[in-house]
Amino acid sequence: MKVKVINHSKHPLPEYQTPLSAGMDLRANLEESIPLEPLERKLVNTGLFLELVPGFEAQIRPRSGLAFKHGLTVLNSPGTIDADYRGEIKVLLVNLSNETFLINDGERIAQMIIAKHERIEWETSSILSETERGSGGYGSTGKE
């Protein structure tokens, strides 16, 4: 599938890292490095603008390496990019470590997944079908 994109960043377009990768890494597009203090959150520019095909969304998710090594994650994960959004794709990063993290220009800060989604119509009802689970949840089926 082709997706129309405007790249106003200084960096190449995001690419899949391996032939079967689901996500494409997004790079920070910055004039200068940004420090992210412990528990601080910042909206980081990517310089990318998309025109998604209707029925598809883009999801902005954390990179596990950054999360594991530096406690950096995407606060609103998964961020939702709607098909009718024409603004710049931004990444809401939060530093959950106790050390300042310096975000450098061109750094791969998050990953983006393009996913199909449904749009539904509500069918209002007073009763739902019976199932074995019923309203059990939150560990109701046992320890493991």
Ligand X SMILES: O=c1ccn([C@H]2C[C@H](O)[C@@H](COP(=O)(O)OP(=O)(O)OP(=O)(O)O)O2)c(=O)[nH]1
Closest CA to 81 of 109, 112, 113, 59: 59
Smallest gap from Cβ 75 to ligand X, in A, equals 9
Distance CA 67, CA 94 (A): 10
Toward ligand X, which CB reaches closer, 20 or 51? 51
- Tell whether 76 is in a known binding site: yes
Toward ligand X, which CB reaches closer, 46 or 101? 46
β-bridge mates for residue 34, sequence order: 103
DSSP label at 87? S
Toward ligand X, which CB reaches closer, 45 or 97? 45
Q: Which residue is nearest to ligand X (CB)?
A: 79
4 burial (CB, 10 Å; 0-12 / 13-18 / 19+) is: exposed
Toward ligand X, which CB reaches closer, 64 or 76? 76
- Tell whether 61 is in a known binding site: no
Smallest gap from Cβ 84 to ligand X, in A, equals 7
- Tell whether 64 is in a known binding site: yes
Distance CA 48, CA 27 (A): 10
Say which residue the tokens 């990019």 belong to. 81
Q: Which residues bind ligand X (CB under 6 A)?
A: 60, 76, 79-82, 85, 89-90, 92
Q: Which residues are annotated as a binding site for substrate?
A: 63-65, 76, 80-82
